[in-house]
Chain A
Amino acid sequence: MTVEEQIREIVARITRVDPSIITRESTFKDIKADSLDVVQALVAVEELFEIEIPDEEAQKFQNFGNFVSYVESRVSKAEKV
């Protein structure tokens, strides 16, 4: 599974929506995610990829695609180290 697929699965599980409705353009609002859903998704992604996503960064995510891109950049950085 790609990073994107793994994150989509996490977000879908937490917000209880079908993964297929989450596109890179989806906002948290589109999938009716409340603030608790967002925090829980962040925590689950952090644990899966063993990275830290500070709120200062997370607040910049406009949509699912931003979230995925951020995690991808962090994961690829970690692989290079």
Chain B
Amino acid sequence: MSLEGKLALVTGGGRGIGKAIALKLASQGADIIINFFRHRETAEETAREIEALGVKAETMRANVGDPSKIEQMFDTIESKHGRLDILISNAASGVGRPVMEVDTKAWEWTMDINARALLLCTQRAAKLMEGRGGKVVSISSLGSSFVLPNYTVVGVSKAALEALTRYLAIELAPQNICVNTVAASAVETDALKFYFKEGLANASHYLTPAGRMVAPEDVANVVAFLCSEEAFMIRGQTVIVDGGTSVGLFAAAGKGGE
């Protein structure tokens, strides 16, 4: 698999899963634009790590929850590069609250960043992919299909993201743009530490049949495959990367009875 000469935008690419994806795509030869919002230092550090791999890297600040900031970011990409080959819609945020405490502010903040950003970024990216095709991969979560504690609004936003992925995949198929999403279970990142702090995560929920937690690189490997020509016939899918957690629920319950 080679991505030599390709240009990829990774939203939220400065740290966590986004960083692992940016490094993986860079290792295959792609030039990387790292979008970040709150953490400039880590984004610039990641850019330096990417450049050390021998490809080009740049950082762009934008809150993808704000449509005008998405417009500005793509205006910059358009005037500077005039093209884009890969969009990784990874940036995410969320408010960990039980369902009865979710208010409109938490709902809108999370939906805007986690779901609407995929729509708005893909609309702009598709124009930059015109005549050349492209790949769009977003990052979802098992919380779209399964109930996790205090995860309501994030889970709902990821369900919207997965549905949107199917619509985008079909409507953009004639332009040779492949759209898919990768749904991970709990991944060892700073964001997870935050949720632990907020009382959201409980390690026992994430004991996986594969014997360890999912690492950012596990997700990045699948994303990189979906960005390759070998994955050309995969469209509108949610690929689950969870070490078997979701299909092993009842097997795990059985263990408790032994």
Q: In whole angstroms, what is the CA distance A58 to B198 when docked?
A: 19
- For residue A36, which residues in chain B have a CB less than 8 angstroms away from its CB? 95, 105-106, 109
What is the chain A residue whose CB lies nearest that of B61? A52
Task: Assess whether A55 is in contact with B38, with CB atoms less than 8 Å apart.
Answer: yes
Task: Assess whether B106 is in contact with A56, with CB atoms less than 8 Å apart.
Answer: no
Give the number of chain A interface residues (Cβ < 8 Å).
12
Task: Assess whether B41 is in contact with A54, with CB atoms less than 8 Å apart.
Answer: yes
Give the number of chain B interface residues (Cβ < 8 Å).
12
What is the chain B residue whose CB lies nearest that of A53? B38
Q: Least Cβ distance of B60 to chain A in Å?
A: 13
The reply on B40 being an interface residue by CB < 8 A is: yes
The reply on A40 being an interface residue by CB < 8 A is: yes
Q: Least Cβ distance of A13 to chain B in Å?
A: 12
- For residue B40, which residues in chain A have a CB less than 8 angstroms away from its CB? 52, 54, 56
Residues 38-56 of A contacting B (Cβ, < 8 Å):
39-40, 42-43, 52, 54-56
The reply on B39 being an interface residue by CB < 8 A is: yes
Q: List 25 A-B contacts (CB under 8 A).
A: A34-B95, A35-B95, A35-B198, A36-B95, A36-B105, A36-B106, A36-B109, A39-B38, A39-B93, A40-B105, A40-B109, A42-B38, A43-B63, A52-B40, A52-B61, A54-B38, A54-B39, A54-B40, A54-B41, A55-B38, A55-B39, A56-B39, A56-B40, A56-B41, A58-B38
